[in-house]
Amino acid sequence: MTLLLAIITGVLYAAGIYLMLRRSMVKVIFGLIFLGHAANLMIFTVGRLCKGAPAFVEEGAMQAVEPFADPLPQALILTAIVIGFGVQAFTIVLFKRTYRTLGTEDLDEMRSTDRLPEENP
Amino acid sequence: MSILLAIGFLASAIAPLLHRRFRENFGWIALIFPLSMFLGLLWHYPTVAGGMVVRESIPWVASLGVNLSFALDGLSLTFAMIITLIGAAVFLYAGAYMKEYPDAGRFFLYIGVFMTSMLGLVLSANTILLFIFWELTSISSFLLIGFNHQRESSRKSAIQALLVTGGGGLALLAGFILLREVTGSFEIADMYDMNALITAHPLYPAIVVLMLLGAFTKSAQFPFHFWLPNAMEAPTPVSAYLHSATMVKAGIYLVARMNHEIGGTPLWQDTLLATGAATMLFTSVLALGATDLKKLLAYSTLSVLGTLMLLLGIGSPLAIKAFFIYLIAHSLYKGTLFLVAGTLDHETGTRDVRRLGGLRRAMPITAATAALASFSMMGVIPLVGFIGKETVYKSILELDTWGIPLIAAAVTANAFIVMVTLLVGFRPFWGKARATPKHPHEAPLKMLLGPGLLAVLGLLFGLFPDLFISTLLDQSALSILSEKIGLKITLWHGVNMVLFLSLATLLAGGVAYRLRNALQERLDGFRAPALMKPSSWYEALVGGMLKSARLQTALLQNGYLRNYIQIVLITALSAAAYALYQAADRVRIVPDVSITFYEAALGIIIIVATWMLVTSQSRLKSIVALGVVGFSIGIIFVIYGAPDVALTTFAIETLNVILFVLVLYRLPKFVSLSSTSNRIRDAIIAGSAGLFMTMTILLATSFDLSSKLKEYYAAASVPEGRGRNIVNVILVDFRAIDTLGEITVLAIAALGVLALLKPGPEEGRRP
């Protein structure tokens, strides 16, 4: 299963990067989300897989008994997912605002800073 | 001495505050600063004149041999007294001159830093320390030349001066480091007896070239002379102080200081001689083209700097004697004349000699001061300038082969200096009055006292040379040569060849003054081609640098986001891929858990959804695919023992899809923007990046993971965190600060979203 997850992570990375190289801003945002997924899966996989054994301490016991999944990567991923969402939400709204102001989502038309396009003053 | 310098920097730092407090009378306050330093130095005078060297050393970076070492010998004291004395005159003068500038406080900060650094430079006994002060003077010079930073020419000149002297400074540093390779020390005192060792070393030529590059750029020797006339953009007190009396003499000081240690070889002496002579002659002729008072003075300063370098090149006891007298004389009269030029500018509103005349009635004291300094500059008996020029001629005449051509060059150069003097020191005050932009009247006391004092000193030094200069001179010469000179200085040498040459110089100067327009026309006839002008080399160098920077920017930072990503990716991949390739044989696939049918199905679903998203033209379809990928990843988390992560993923994915639908559903369809070849190229880059990540994961999982943290958290969760869900305990307990940071990030993102959703001003205006 590690192999399968490694391949899926690779595919997600490839898709994320491919999307980030597009000219359409929406696709770049999709790419950003994919990179987030890929990074999370990578941390998860590299932290070793453990099927069906969440990191819980049984009722009455003082500590968890092997086998159980490593809790640390999970904690890191949780933080990453939430922050990633913050970034995504901001990017999506930023995109909306950009589109409303400039009337385009082509990144090539947004190369110059602090100047609105001539035809849309 | 270190305390003196520390106080100096401190006083400079509070100068703007004091200036704000005292305003009008700040000149008098500022005067205390150089004057007290001068008196402090004077206190050491008997010791130094008695043949002792005052030393002081505080370890700084002792492991590298860099110490705060200071030494006060005759040479240092001579320079230090010039610095503080002229500083006193300039500070007082500037108090009145800078009155109209709103930020004169800043000016006093810079010039205070300069004076302290310059003192540090001549007092340093450690080469690295000397270099630091050297650069500090370059930097304060940059700030002062660019003081009127609203003017483009001012900024340009400041940068030019900084680049030329700063570049030379770097060469000097390299020279010092090579010198340390040879001698094993940064302390100048350690090198005092090593002349034979240094000059025989194979690195010796490199040391000489590097050090002289530093000295020649700083003292504006040909072909680096061009920055000095441009530096006249600075306020006049700065020109008087930095660019005639002190900073430009730093290079000459360096040569004099190191002469005993690394001098004496034909390479050293001949280079100094040739460069000095070329500068002396060439720059004096350039004065013909100038009409600005300050530019005229600048060209004559260049010529004098060349003469001083030439004297060091001759290096005979007589030449060293001439060096000191000429140095002192020049600092006195040139400082005075610059300040007079500043006064003229200040009171009449112009610095163009063609528009000035007959001012002696309106400004009698200034006229008298100017006349006194001018006589010294022309070398008229009984002023110190006369002794200076006589001794210079005499030491040149001592030479065998080069005596005749050099004396001709020296007389020519001095004739042009006489011409400059007539133009600057006399013409504005005599003859018929000309209309000036401002109604001329005498300058205030603060602007008369300094130059007046310096001019009178020039007379006193000339009348009583024994009293003032002789004692110090012996000690100064000892720092340069190892023998005592023991020559007496006298005003009158009798009627001889040298006196005849002096008279000839005056005569030729007068003729040059009369014929200057005709000469100028002849000179215009053969304008030097650009290739011959050193300033055009500089332009080409700076231009080339800017061009290559622009090229590089255009190449790397062209505003296309995807190009940045590509460059970063390709660089990172090609660097890391090689390492991964080497480790490839150590990859082994862990046969941990077999793949069940639903896991395989999940994998296929993710890959198909990803493909759909990448290729789809429809926005809605893309969003659905995005949701599918997100939820499938959530299911993977469920299967592999991470229920909390899975729950969060589900929640976030739901929010994401809703957000996307809300924002995107009204937008048009995707349009195909990239060409097919671009798509293929991007696919190759992305594909290799994906493959690279897969391989990285496989490699990382091929090794045993001994996670001490896993055991720790498993054991500590209940007793210390009082929780049975270990992941939760980590988040809210062990790493609670992280979680707090995370919440803060979300809050900031929410604020950003809010700000972006509010209608902006440009939308408010629209109907």
Angstroms from B275 CA to nearest CA on chain A: 51
CB contact under 8 A, B742 and A83: yes
Span A98-103, average pLDDT: 80
What angle (nearest 5°) sits at the alpha carbon of residue B462, between those of residues B41 and B316?
Answer: 80
CB contact under 8 A, B619 and A34: no
Q: Do residues B272 and B255 lie in contact, with contact meaning Cβ atoms separated by under 8 Å?
A: yes
Q: Do residues B383 and B372 lie in contact, with contact meaning Cβ atoms separated by under 8 Å?
A: yes
B597 shares contact with chain A (CB less than 8 Å): no
Token pair belonging to B723? 């929780």
DSSP 8-state assignment for residue B148:
S
Nearest to B682 among A21, A69, A92 (CB): A21
A54 shares contact with chain B (CB less than 8 Å): yes
CB contact under 8 A, B641 and A50: yes
Which residue in chain B has the smallest CA separation from A69? B641
CA pair distance B12, B473, nearest whole angstrom: 31
B710 shares contact with chain A (CB less than 8 Å): yes
Q: Do residues B587 and B698 lie in contact, with contact meaning Cβ atoms separated by under 8 Å?
A: yes
Q: For residue B84, give the nearest of B335, B363, B368, B429 by alpha carbon.
A: B335
Helices marked H in B557-596: 561-582
B601 shares contact with chain A (CB less than 8 Å): no
Which residue in chain B has the smallest CA separation from A98? B756
Q: Between residues 129 and 158 of chain B, which touch chain A (CB distance below 8 Å)?
A: none
Give CA B766 to chain center in angstroms.
50
> If you compute the radius of gyration of chain B from its CA atoms, what whole number of angstroms results?
37
One-character DSSP codes across B237-279: HHHHIIIIISGGGHHHHHHHHHHHHH--SHHHHHHHHHHHHHH
Size of interface A-B (CB pairs under 8 A): 280
B576 shares contact with chain A (CB less than 8 Å): no
Q: Do residues B430 and B358 lie in contact, with contact meaning Cβ atoms separated by under 8 Å?
A: yes
Q: Between residues 652 and 671 of chain B, which touch chain A (CB distance below 8 Å)?
A: 652, 655-656, 659-660, 663-664, 667, 670-671
Nearest to A90 among B629, B693, B749 (CB): B749
Token pair belonging to B129? 């320390």
Q: 10 Å Cβ neighbour count for B424?
A: 27
Phi (first) and psi of residue A66, to 5 degrees: -60, 150
pLDDT over 70 (residue A118): no
Nearest to B690 among A11, A44, A70 (CB): A11
CB contact under 8 A, A21 and B655: no
Give CA A5 to chain center in angstroms.
16
User: Which chain B residues are Cβ-neighbours of A39 within 8 angstroms?
Assistant: none
Nearest to B727 among A13, A26, A78 (CB): A78
Which residue in chain A has the smallest CA separation from B696? A6
Q: For residue B234, give the nearest of B247, B222, B223 by alpha carbon.
A: B247
Determine what percent of chain B falls in helix, strand and coil, rounding each to the nearest 5.
75, 5, 20
Angstroms from A35 CA to nearest CA on chain B: 11
B736 shares contact with chain A (CB less than 8 Å): no
- B528 CB-near residues (< 8 Å, 6+ apart): none
> Would the CA dihedral through B412, B414, B416, B419 be positive or negative?
negative
Which residue in chain B has the smallest CA separation from A10? B690
In order of their start, the domains of chain A are: 2-50+67-106 (1.10.287.3510)
Residue with tokens 């997100």: B630
Q: Could you tell me which residues are beta bridge partners of residue B352?
A: B292
Q: 10 Å Cβ neighbour count for B305?
A: 28
CB contact under 8 A, B713 and A83: no
Q: Between residues 674 and 703 of chain B, which touch chain A (CB distance below 8 Å)?
A: 674, 682-683, 685-687, 689-694, 696-698, 700-701
Residue with tokens 């370059």: B138
Q: Do residues B645 and A78 lie in contact, with contact meaning Cβ atoms separated by under 8 Å?
A: yes
What angle (nearest 5°) sits at the alpha carbon of residue A70, between those of residues A68 and A74?
Answer: 125
Tell me the per-residue pLDDT of B749-761, one tens digit each, with 9 for 90 and over.
999 988 888 766 5
Q: Could you tell me which residues are beta bridge partners of residue B72?
A: B54
CA pair distance B125, B131, nearest whole angstrom: 11
Nearest to B694 among A6, A37, A53 (CB): A6
CB contact under 8 A, B656 and A85: yes
Give CA B260 to chain center in angstroms.
29
- B87 CB-near residues (< 8 Å, 6+ apart): B33, B34, B37, B38, B115, B241, B246
User: How far lies A102's CA from each of A87, A96, B326, B339, in Å?
Assistant: 22, 10, 71, 59
* pTM over cut 0.80: no
Which residue in chain B has the smallest CA separation from A81? B649
Nearest to B565 among A20, A86, A93 (CB): A20
CB contact under 8 A, B746 and A75: no
Please report how the helices B534-556 and B152-183 are oriented relative to each other, as an axis angle in degrees rounded to 10. 90
CB contact under 8 A, B674 and A23: yes
If 0-12 CB within 10 Å is exposed, 13-18 middle and 19+ buried, where does residue B260 land? Answer: buried
If 0-12 CB within 10 Å is exposed, 13-18 middle and 19+ buried, where does residue B397 land? Answer: middle
One-character DSSP codes across B32-80: HHHHHHHHHHHHHHHHHHTT--EEEEEEEEGGGTEEEEEEE-HHHHHHH
User: Which chain B residues are Cβ-neighbours of A121 within 8 angstroms?
Assistant: none
Q: 10 Å Cβ neighbour count for B404?
A: 12
Angstroms from B586 CA to nearest CA on chain A: 15
Q: Between residues 59 and 88 of chain A, which touch chain B (CB distance below 8 Å)?
A: 59, 61-64, 68-72, 74-75, 77-79, 81-88
B439 shares contact with chain A (CB less than 8 Å): no
Q: Do residues B238 and B230 lie in contact, with contact meaning Cβ atoms separated by under 8 Å?
A: no
Q: Which parts of chain B sit beneath pLDDT 70?
A: 467-468, 482-488, 524-532, 589-594, 666-673, 759-767
- Domain limits, chain B: 1-263, 268-525, 528-558, 559-707, 708-767
Q: Do residues B79 and B249 lie in contact, with contact meaning Cβ atoms separated by under 8 Å?
A: yes
Q: Do residues B69 and B132 lie in contact, with contact meaning Cβ atoms separated by under 8 Å?
A: no
Nearest to A6 among B558, B659, B697 (CB): B697
Nearest to B705 among A48, A78, A99 (CB): A48
A11 shares contact with chain B (CB less than 8 Å): yes
Tell me the per-residue pLDDT of A28-63, one tens digit each, with 9 for 90 and over.
889 999 999 999 999 999 888 888 788 888 887 877
Which residue in chain B has the smallest CA separation from A110? B559
User: How far lies B343's CA from each of B95, B236, B370, B447, in Å?
Assistant: 13, 9, 11, 7
One-character DSSP codes across B549-562: HHHHHHHH-SS-HH
**Residues B431-434: contacts with CB under 8 Å, at least 24 apart:** B431/B357, B431/B358, B432/B357, B432/B358, B433/B357, B433/B358, B433/B359, B433/B361, B434/B355, B434/B356, B434/B357, B434/B358
In chain A the first and final C-alpha atoms are separated, in Å, by 56
DSSP 8-state assignment for residue B474:
H
User: Which chain B residues are Cβ-neighbours of A106 within 8 angstroms?
Assistant: 673
ipTM: 0.90
CA pair distance B458, B466, nearest whole angstrom: 14
What angle (nearest 5°) sits at the alpha carbon of residue B263, between those of residues B262 and B265?
Answer: 115
Phi (first) and psi of residue B680, to 5 degrees: -65, -45
CA pair distance B131, B135, nearest whole angstrom: 6
Nearest to B726 among A7, A47, A57 (CB): A57
Per-position b or e across B494-509, b if 16+ CB within 10 A of its CB? eeeebbebbeebbebb
Task: Please report the pLDDT score of residue B484 as a whole number.
Answer: 65
Token pair belonging to B125? 């006994």
Best of A4, A7, A12, A21 to mutate (most B CBs within 10 Å, chain B): A21
User: How far lies B99's CA from each of B31, B107, B449, in Å?
Assistant: 15, 11, 17
Angstroms from A23 CA to nearest CA on chain B: 7
Q: B189 in the Ramachandran plot: left (φ > 0), alpha (ψ -120 to 50) or beta?
A: alpha
Token pair belonging to B44? 């050491």
The amino acid at B271: T
Q: 10 Å Cβ neighbour count for B157?
A: 22
Task: Please report the pLDDT score of residue A119 as a whole number.
Answer: 47
Nearest to B690 among A14, A63, A75 (CB): A14
Three-state secondary-structure class, residue B220 = coil
Q: For residue B406, give the nearest of B252, B278, B224 by alpha carbon.
A: B278
Best of A45, A81, A100 to mutate (most B CBs within 10 Å, chain B): A81
A38 shares contact with chain B (CB less than 8 Å): yes
CA pair distance B319, B402, nearest whole angstrom: 14
CB contact under 8 A, A71 and B667: no
CB contact under 8 A, A4 and B595: yes
